[in-house]
Amino acid sequence: MPIFPRLVEGDQESEPDRTWEGRPPRLWLHIAVTWTVTALCVGALILGALWFLGFPEIARPDTLSLRAFEGVVVRAFAIMAGLSGIALLVIAYHRQRNNNLENLRARRAAERDGVKLFNDRFTAAYTELGNEQATARLGAVHALAHLADDAPTSELRQTCINVLCSYLRMPNAPVAEGDEVGTTARQEYEAFREVRFSIIRVIGDRLRDEYSSWHGHRFDLSNVAFDGGTLRGVHLIDGKMIFDRSVFSGGEMDFRYSRVSGSRLSFRGARFTGGTVNFRHVRFEGRFSDFDKAEFSGARVLFHDARIAAKTMNFTRAGFTGGRVEFTSGEEGTEPALGDPPDGLLDAVAAGTPGVVRLPESWTGPGVGEDAPPHTR
């Protein structure tokens, strides 16, 4: 996989400074030019002063007194001192310029070495991700995760994240307990499943740390077949986590105690067909969580005690045809979800199969659950 990194992302000095390309001007030439410019400026000031005075005639003395001679000498030394000071300033400027140039060259060389090392490690890691041995693939997952931690730019970190997410999108036919498959096929599936679960755990471990460099990135988990995993307690501060058109078919996918405060969480067109998807105690705030066109047909999806800020969730065109979707638990409606009902949820519930969705009493209104207790539908 080719990688084309920028040396320093977001740094204006990452682009080549054309003024420093090639050999710098000679010092003596720079000093001579500076002296010439200074002399011209002083001459212009003198001519301006004479013009202002009407170019008065200056009487020439017949003899030069000792005191006048001393004045000439003092002024000559002052001129020499000024020219010497100008030369020293030019020398100091050249020295600083050369130091900056050397520092820039050294930094660019270090960045090139860092990118080359990254590419070497990346190639070794993602090659092992295709190894037939599950243990090698597990090692590759953690190698890519650590490589993302050490990535010199966010672009290279995103590359590692993309590879991990791409592995989850590989075709996956879940093997449930009791399915009549051979021992070898079941072992291969279990090994593949463990690698997939490890990737989910790696992502969750990084996103639980509020100071992790993984925040602000895109996690494309669309079209993934989930049969379990945990993202419990993650804090989505920024970036995107996409589950569009994914299928949740078994096991438990755990999002409990997570917080969506600055990231976009999307389940557009996702299908919840089996197992449990647990959003209990999740705080949906800040940006947007989208369940548009999601299909709930057989899974148990729990939103007990979820905290939902206004305009942060959307269930427009969601379909509720089976399973159980609970925004409150227990016959007495304990642990209700708090906040405003998500956009489009009540309309989708009214159009769905009765008894699939359990809502807090504070959300139900006229026309919802006419043949059922007010907090269920």
Tokens for 227, please give them: 């049969």
CA distance 236 to 217: 10
List 266's β-bridge partners, or say none. Answer: 242, 290
Tokens for 24, please give them: 């710098």
CA distance 351 to 62: 117
Query: Do the beta carbons of residue 227 and residue 275 sit within 8 Å?
Result: yes
C-alpha to C-alpha distances, 250 to 46, 82, 141, 226, nearest whole angstrom: 92, 85, 23, 7
pLDDT the model gives residue 333: 61
CA distance 271 to 227: 12
pLDDT the model gives residue 313: 92
Q: Which residues of 300-335 are buried (b: 16+ CB within 10 A; e: fewer)?
A: bbbbbbbebbeebbbbbbbbbebbbbbbbbeeebeb
Long-range Cβ contacts of 201-207 (<8 Å, 24+ apart): 201/229, 201/230, 202/141, 202/142, 202/145, 202/164, 203/161, 203/164, 203/231, 203/234, 204/230, 204/231, 204/232, 204/233, 204/234, 206/145, 206/148, 206/149, 207/231, 207/234, 207/235, 207/236
Q: What is the number of alpha carbons within 13 Å of residue 340 lying toward its C-beta? A: 11
Q: Which residues of 288-297 are buried (b: 16+ CB within 10 A; e: fewer)?
A: ebbbbbbbbe
| Amino acid of residue 237 | I
Tokens for 219, please give them: 């996690």
Q: Which residues of 117-128 are buried (b: 16+ CB within 10 A; e: fewer)?
A: ebbebbeebbeb
Q: In the block, which residue shows the tokens 């597990």? A: 138
Residues 6+ apart with CB under 8 A from 296: 272, 318, 319, 320, 321, 322, 323, 325, 352, 356, 357
pLDDT the model gives residue 206: 95
Predicted structure pTM score: 0.70
Could you list the pLDDT tens digit for every one of the 377 residues in the chain?
Answer: 334 344 334 444 444 444 444 455 577 677 777 778 777 777 777 777 767 777 777 666 667 677 766 776 777 777 777 777 777 777 777 778 778 888 888 777 766 766 777 778 888 887 888 888 889 999 999 999 999 998 888 999 999 999 999 999 988 766 555 555 567 777 888 889 999 999 999 999 999 998 999 999 999 999 999 999 999 999 998 899 999 999 999 999 999 999 998 889 999 999 999 999 999 999 998 778 999 999 999 999 999 999 999 888 999 999 999 999 999 986 666 789 999 899 999 999 999 999 999 999 888 855 444 334 444 44
Tokens for 282, please give them: 């999740």
